[in-house]
Amino acid sequence: MWLNHTDSLQNCLGSLEVSCDSKDINVCDHAFDYWKQMTVELREKGHIIYMVGNGASASMASHFSADLAKNAHVHTQVFTDLALITAIANDLSFDQIFVEPLRRRLTPNDMLVAISSSGDSPNVVNACRFASEVGASVITVTAMGAENKMRQIGDLNFWIPADTYGMAETGHACILHYWMDSVSI
């Protein structure tokens, strides 16, 4: 059973698909190189990487935000403050919990990394749309449905064909670690 599970994970990661709007990038190694280049330039210019997600993806956003700040010396920001989230959800709408703080902080020189197993969470999709409208770089990390909304918005999109949340989250952690390790100093 365990070996079947690890084989499934290997097949899922081996089936990673990448799409990129601004360049002809559809090979995973080229996509990771491009993401690394974007991140290094962002770090050198002192801009910010914002990371968003729900549930386990929010935990991943927080985890990788901390690791990027510590290991890659990148200025990062997540919106995991319970008071902020509940105030925006109560006073405006849950689908605006990321857009509202981004509206006050995000610049065209920044990057949004959006993580979602389904790729269709309204609050994360709205954050991607807003960041795209501002002109910031939008990186999406999704799974499950190949035609998910986030994958249609991002500048650089990483998608794995995971059927379960466990497989999606494990695969996303692998993708994010590979990126973070590539930019660590």
Q: Where are the chain's structural domains?
A: 2-183
What pLDDT, in 10s, does the model give residues 18-28?
988 766 666 78
pLDDT of residue 93: 97
Q: What integer pLDDT is reported at residue 175 of this predicted model?
A: 97
Average pLDDT of the chain is 95
Phi-psi region of 135 (alpha: psi -120 to 50; beta: other; left: phi over 0): left
Q: Are 101 and 84 in contact (CB under 8 A)?
A: yes
The pLDDT of residue 159 is 97
pLDDT at position 23 is 60
Query: CA nearest 156: which of 111, 125, 103?
Result: 111
Greatest Cα pair distance in the chain: 49
Looking at residue 26, its pLDDT comes to 62
Q: Hey, what CATH topology would domain 2-183 get?
A: Rossmann fold (3.40.50)
Q: Are 180 and 64 in contact (CB under 8 A)?
A: yes
- The reported pLDDT for the residue numbered 107 is 98
pLDDT value at position 28?
A: 82
Report pLDDT for 22: 61
CB neighbour burial string for 125-150, b if at least 16 within 10 angstroms, e if fewer: bbbbbbbbebebbbbbbbbbeeebbb
Distance CA 122, CA 103 (A): 16
- Counting as low any pLDDT under 50, the low residues of the chain are none
Q: E strands, 81-177, where?
A: 111-116, 137-142, 156-159
Range list of β-strands (E), the chain = 17-20, 48-52, 75-78, 111-116, 137-142, 156-159
Amino acid at 126: N
From the list 73, 76, 162, the residue with the least C-alpha distance to 113 is 76
- What are the angstrom distances between the C-alpha of 112 and each of 47, 57, 61, 184? 11, 14, 11, 18
**Rounded percentage of the chain residues whose pLDDT exceeds 70:** 97
